[in-house]
């Protein structure tokens, strides 16, 4: 399968058509943005790390019964995926307070949450991805109640699978963001990426941040942190 026209370019990835109308090629970039594109930069080697880590975790999730859009890794930065229509929700699962939850609810960063918290945001850059609940999602027809039930079930199961898996690599899964899509037959599958761009990963001994917060907060060492995640997960 080869790249044909560019179908879409996002902040961190390009998506190309292929000779098969039901397959797309995702190409991961080193470009980094934060705060809805207000902050821009580059994390050298990020594209390779995010592509390889995403595919590794998608394969793991498939093996545990979570359907995904993943088909085949084509190169260090490029992956063949199934065509889906993306459901316009950012689905966030949180285990430990960090990021926007800290400021929104006045929690201390690092506070353990009594149960995992599931949140949805409406994917809309012009509105800055506002938080929405089940009622907004139904009212705006972003997903049907049946689809949302499937999404919530998958998201919490993914949290269990990834938290346990990452623990063996001495990584605490603080929180993460997922996106889901629909195949032409309507089946809901996990899409997009699962990477240090879209998860918070903390070293479980030192508490060191091994994710995009190093870039968001100008902590330095982003390249090394991404490289460390790749090494711990793929050897």
Please report, as ranges, the residues that interact with ligand TMP according to CB under 6 A: 92, 98-101, 175-177, 198-200
Which of the 8 DSSP states describes residue 143? S
For residue 219, the minimal CB distance to ligand TMP (Å) is: 15
Count other Cβ atoms within 10 Å, centred on residue 228.
Answer: 19
User: Burial letters for 152-164: b for 16+ Cβ neighbours within 10 Å, e otherwise?
Assistant: eebbeebbebbbe
For residue 19, the minimal CB distance to ligand TMP (Å) is: 31
For residue 145, the minimal CB distance to ligand TMP (Å) is: 24
- 174 burial (CB, 10 Å; 0-12 / 13-18 / 19+) is buried
Q: How many Å apart are CA 235 and CA 232, to the nearest integer? A: 6
Residue 137 or 194 with smaller CB distance to ligand TMP: 194
Residue 52 or 212 with smaller CB distance to ligand TMP: 212
Residue 18 or 195 with smaller CB distance to ligand TMP: 195
What are residue 93's phi and psi, to 5 degrees?
Answer: -120, 135
For residue 125, the minimal CB distance to ligand TMP (Å) is: 9
Residue 28 or 176 with smaller CB distance to ligand TMP: 176
For residue 198, the minimal CB distance to ligand TMP (Å) is: 4
Residue 18 or 198 with smaller CB distance to ligand TMP: 198
Q: How many Å apart are CA 152 and CA 156, to the nearest integer? A: 6
**Which of 9, 48, 2, 50 has the alpha carbon at shortest distance from 25?**
2
């Amino acid at each position: 399968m080869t790249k044909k026209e560019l179908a879409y370019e996002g902040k961190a990835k390009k998506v190309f058509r292929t000779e098969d109308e039901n397959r797309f090629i995702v190409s991961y970039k080193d470009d980094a943005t934060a705060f809805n594109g207000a902050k821009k930069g580059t994390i050298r080697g990020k594209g390779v790390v995010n592509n390889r880590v995403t595919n590794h975790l998608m394969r793991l999730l498939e093996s545990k019964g979570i359907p995904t859009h993943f088909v085949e890794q084509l190169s260090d930065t490029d992956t063949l995926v199934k065509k889906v229509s993306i459901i316009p929700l950012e689905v966030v699962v949180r285990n430990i307070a960090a990021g926007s939850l800290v400021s929104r609810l006045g929690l201390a960063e690092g506070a353990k949450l009594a149960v995992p918290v599931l949140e949805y945001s409406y994917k809309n850059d012009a509105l800055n991805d506002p938080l929405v609940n089940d009622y907004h999602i139904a009212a705006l027809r972003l997903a049907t109640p049946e689809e949302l039930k499937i999404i919530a079930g998958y998201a919490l199961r993914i949290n269990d699978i990834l938290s346990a898996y990452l623990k063996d690599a001495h990584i605490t899964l603080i929180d993460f963001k997922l996106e889901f899509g629909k195949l032409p037959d309507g089946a809901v599958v996990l899409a997009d990426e699962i990477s240090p761009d879209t998860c918070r990963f903390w070293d479980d001994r030192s508490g060191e941040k091994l994710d995009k917060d190093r870039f968001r907060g100008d902590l330095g060492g982003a390249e090394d942190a991404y490289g460390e995640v790749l090494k711990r997960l793929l050897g």
